[in-house]
Amino acid sequence: MAGILYFIPVPLAEGTTPQQVLPAEVVERMHSLRHFIVENEKTARQFLSASGHPVPIRELTFSVLNKDTPPKDLPSLLQPLQQGTDIGLMSEAGCPGIADPGAALAAVAHHKGIRVAPLIGPSSLLLGLMASGLNGQRFTFLGYLPSDKAERIKTIKGIEFDSRKQQATQLFIETPYRNQHMLEDLVANLQPQTKLCVACNITAQNELIVTKTAAEWKKSPLPDVHKKPTVFLLLAA
């Protein structure tokens, strides 16, 4: 019988312990595993150590899956599963498989008939949506917007049009060092009554989740989101 590929969420914010954001059952399941596929081995070792993993970290097995992993290498990562060994997959932050290389591995696992089991934990996208006050019945996650300023502004206007037409919340993220530029472009180019939520450092002590219309954002100093994990959400009137 093939093993199970467990998708293990990890904390979103630095300084947050696994026990603060993960149910005891998830920590217990994680502690039962000896093989892990991770985005960054150093931070994965630190996370497992902080969780109190009962096995010495040096005795655990780690394989790396990141944005640079060639698709041809994915089947080999699943080899222990086909021999009956369970594996835990961890991203760098939040839930693996969402805006994360783990999605491609899950697709290969399904193709091979391997069970993929998601475990409960923090998702910045859902937590941001929950607290935003925007439409939680209909929403779309768009991933990253274009890095070029002109293309980004064009895309923002297209997203706003779609939101108005569908009455759907639009969620997207940005590379942290471009967050401030993204926020400035949103406030400058959205229609006055479009609602914009900025959800920054979710679950951290300095968490910021604020929803205002674009007109209201223009009347006050913008928050500093430079190099801080942030989710942007908008809903056009």
Total structural domains in the chain?
Answer: 2
Residues 83 and 157 in one domain: no
Note down pLDDT in tens along the chain; length 237 residues.
Answer: 899 999 999 999 888 888 888 999 999 999 999 999 999 999 999 999 999 999 999 999 999 999 999 999 999 999 999 999 999 999 988 999 998 899 999 999 999 999 999 999 999 999 999 999 999 999 999 999 999 999 999 999 999 999 999 999 999 999 999 999 999 999 999 999 999 999 999 999 899 999 999 999 999 999 999 999 999 999 998
**Which amino acid, residue 201?**
N
How many Cβ atoms from other residues are within 10 Å of residue 34's Cβ?
15
Residues 131 and 111 in one domain: no
Q: In CATH, what number is assigned to the domain containing residue 79?
A: 3.40.1010.10
Q: Is the pTM of this model over 0.75?
A: yes
Two structure tokens written together for 65: 């899956």
- Burial of 158-180, coded b for 16+ CB within 10 Å and e otherwise, reads ebbeebeeeebbbbbbbeeebbb
Residues 156 and 220 in one domain: yes
The last residue of one of the domains, among 87, 118, 149, is 118
Residues 27 and 98 in one domain: yes
The last residue of one of the domains, among 68, 86, 118, is 118
Residues 113 and 148 in one domain: no
- The residue segments making up the domain with residue 184 are 124-235
Residues 133 and 228 in one domain: yes
